[in-house]
């Protein structure tokens, strides 16, 4: 019988769920959470039971129960830095996620909900390639001052997933390839993949690398200090400028790529230049990762939601196509990526890692 996998991806105002029978989706659903209901919870971790019941109700609507599943896999949250791979949800992981000692985010609920539901059916509870995947080489950790070490926080799930798809297209194992992956979405992360390990990547959350629709990217350090010490400066507001109100939103008043494309088509020169500037910065970061890989590159992969924008892709490609073959895998198939990770783990349980690694 084809194994059925439940994938869970909690967000701040929704929970995405999907059941796949092998590689084929049975259903994919986004459960929206009303703001007034969420306001009744003092902390995001208090939402565990609420979201669990909604997931069970969704399964029931589709004629399924947890006992019909072979495994449950959740989106990994903020936890200890770990190498990429698929991990069994264990008590150490649950303790770190529930305590939020490494950060508070709705994705912390992914492993918790997976374990809740899997225990009910006596099946494996898993996560795969969370944002804290850390495979940086020692030189990549240097910032320029010993008080600050560079951190690995990026779109690890999609990076790894599209790399495996590209490897299959190239007819070679991912673990044999040198790739540069540029994920272009709400945030931008550009990573150097050296035979299965992401040995360098910009911190896509905290203000590193290219700017994006909502993030400011790497800002000039002196000017950033001026922000921090300006009269009336507020730490929370500065952080919002960096991670939520920067990039396209700051320059153009919108983070909507489709809206910006409409403006460009209508002749808005400012919108065209801002979009080209982002492509310019992405290309520069790809060039930096080419240096990390010493110019030995099997392919450059452009992915994420903005890879649907043909003009943006063409602009990046024009600047970096001399490096290697350009492969475009637009979008971010999170649910499919989680499911494929679970299927690989069920097929070869010896590959399942133990947290902390």
Q: For residues 306 and 289, give the distance between their C-alpha atoms in angstroms, rounded to a whole number.
A: 20
pLDDT at 308: 94
pLDDT at 306: 95
pLDDT at 99: 96
Number of separate helices (H) and strands (E) present in the chain: 12, 13
Instruction: Please name every residue paired with 111 in a beta bridge, in sequence order, or none if there are none.
Output: none
Q: For residues 4 and 22, give the distance between their C-alpha atoms in angstroms, rounded to a whole number.
A: 6
- The answer to whether 217 touches 210, Cβ cutoff 8 Å, is yes
The pLDDT tens digits of the residues spanning 182-204 come to 999 989 999 999 999 999 999 98
Q: For residues 326 and 302, give the distance between their C-alpha atoms in angstroms, rounded to a whole number.
A: 7
Nearest alpha carbon to residue 140 among 100, 198, 205, 95:
198
pLDDT at 127: 98
pLDDT at 141: 97
pLDDT band at 340 (very low <50, low <70, confident <90, very high): very high
Q: Phi and psi (nearest 5°) for 82?
A: -140, 155
3-class secondary structure, 251: helix
pLDDT at 261 over 80: yes
The pLDDT tens digits of the residues spanning 274-312 come to 999 999 999 999 999 999 999 999 999 999 999 999 999
pLDDT at 34: 87
Q: For residues 100 and 94, give the distance between their C-alpha atoms in angstroms, rounded to a whole number.
A: 10
pLDDT at 128: 97
pLDDT at 263 over 90: yes
The CA-based dihedral angle spanning residues 135, 140, 141, 144, taken in that order and rounded to the nearest 10 degrees: -170
Q: Which H helix or E strand runs over 197?
A: strand 197-201
| Structural domains for the chain | 4-134+335-351 (3.30.420.40), 156-331 (3.30.420.40)
Q: For residues 357 and 350, give the distance between their C-alpha atoms in angstroms, rounded to a whole number.
A: 14
| Strands 86-88 and 142-145, bridge-based pairing | unpaired
Q: Which H helix or E strand runs over 302?
A: strand 299-304
Mean pLDDT of 216-245: 94
If you compute the radius of gyration of the chain from its CA atoms, what whole number of angstroms results?
A: 21
* Torsion sign across C-alpha atoms 284, 285, 290, 292: positive
pLDDT at 296: 98
- The answer to whether 227 touches 234, Cβ cutoff 8 Å, is no
| Strands 197-201 and 299-304, bridge-based pairing | unpaired
The pLDDT tens digits of the residues spanning 307-326 come to 999 999 999 999 999 999 99
pLDDT at 207 over 80: no
Ranges of H-type helices in the chain: 35-38, 48-61, 91-99, 108-121, 156-170, 221-228, 235-243, 247-252, 257-265, 269-292, 310-320, 334-347
Q: For residues 44 and 290, give the distance between their C-alpha atoms in angstroms, rounded to a whole number.
A: 40
The pLDDT tens digits of the residues spanning 109-129 come to 999 999 999 999 999 999 999
pLDDT band at 220 (very low <50, low <70, confident <90, very high): very high
pLDDT at 206 over 90: no
Average model confidence (pLDDT) across the chain = 95
Length in residues, the chain? 357
Q: Tokens 């979009």 map to which residue?
A: 275
Q: Which residues contact 141 (CB under 8 A, 6 or more apart)?
A: 149, 150
| Token code pair at residue 170 | 């190239």
Share of the chain above pLDDT 90, in %: 92
Q: For residues 344 and 335, give the distance between their C-alpha atoms in angstroms, rounded to a whole number.
A: 14
| Token code pair at residue 288 | 């930096």
The pLDDT tens digits of the residues spanning 164-180 come to 999 999 999 999 999 99
Share of the chain above pLDDT 70, in %: 100
């Amino acid at each position: 019988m084809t194994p059925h996998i439940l994938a869970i991806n909690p967000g701040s105002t929704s929970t995405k769920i999907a059941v796949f029978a092998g590689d084929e989706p049975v259903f994919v659903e986004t459960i929206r959470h009303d703001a007034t209901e969420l306001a009744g919870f003092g902390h995001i971790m208090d939402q565990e039971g609420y979201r669990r019941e909604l997931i069970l109700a969704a399964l029931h609507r589709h004629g399924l129960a947890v006992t019909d599943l072979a495994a449950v896999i959740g989106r990994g949250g903020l936890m200890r830095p770990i190498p990429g791979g698929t991990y069994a949800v264990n008590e150490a992981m649950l303790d770190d996620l529930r305590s939020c000692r490494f950060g508070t985010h709705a994705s912390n609920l992914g492993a918790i909900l997976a374990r809740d539901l899997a225990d009910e059916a006596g099946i494996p509870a898993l996560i795969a390639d969370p944002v804290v995947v850390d495979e940086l080489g020692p030189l990549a950790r240097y910032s320029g001052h010993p008080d600050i070490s560079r951190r690995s926080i990026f779109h690890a799930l999609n990076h790894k997933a599209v790399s495996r798809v590209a490897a299959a297209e190239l007819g070679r194992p991912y673990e044999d390839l040198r790739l540069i992956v540029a994920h272009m979405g709400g945030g931008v992360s550009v990573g150097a993949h050296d035979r299965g390990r992401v040995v360098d990547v910009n911190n896509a959350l905290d203000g590193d690398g290219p700017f994006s629709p909502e993030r400011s990217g790497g800002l000039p350090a002196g000017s950033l200090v001026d922000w921090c010490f300006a009269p009336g400066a507020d730490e929370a507001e500065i952080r919002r400028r960096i991670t939520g109100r920067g990039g396209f939103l700051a320059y153009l008043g919108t983070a909507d790529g489709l809206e910006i494309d409409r403006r460009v088509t209508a002749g808005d020169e400012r919108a065209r230049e801002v979009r080209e500037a982002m492509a310019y910065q992405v290309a520069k970061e790809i060039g930096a990762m080419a240096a990390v890989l010493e110019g030995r590159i099997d392919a450059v992969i452009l992915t994420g939601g903005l890879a649907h924008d043909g003009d943006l892709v063409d602009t990046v490609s024009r600047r970096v196509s001399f490096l290697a073959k350009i492969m475009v895998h637009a979008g971010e198939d999170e649910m499919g990526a989680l499911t494929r990770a679970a299927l690989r783990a069920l097929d070869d349980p010896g590959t399942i890692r133990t947290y902390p690694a």
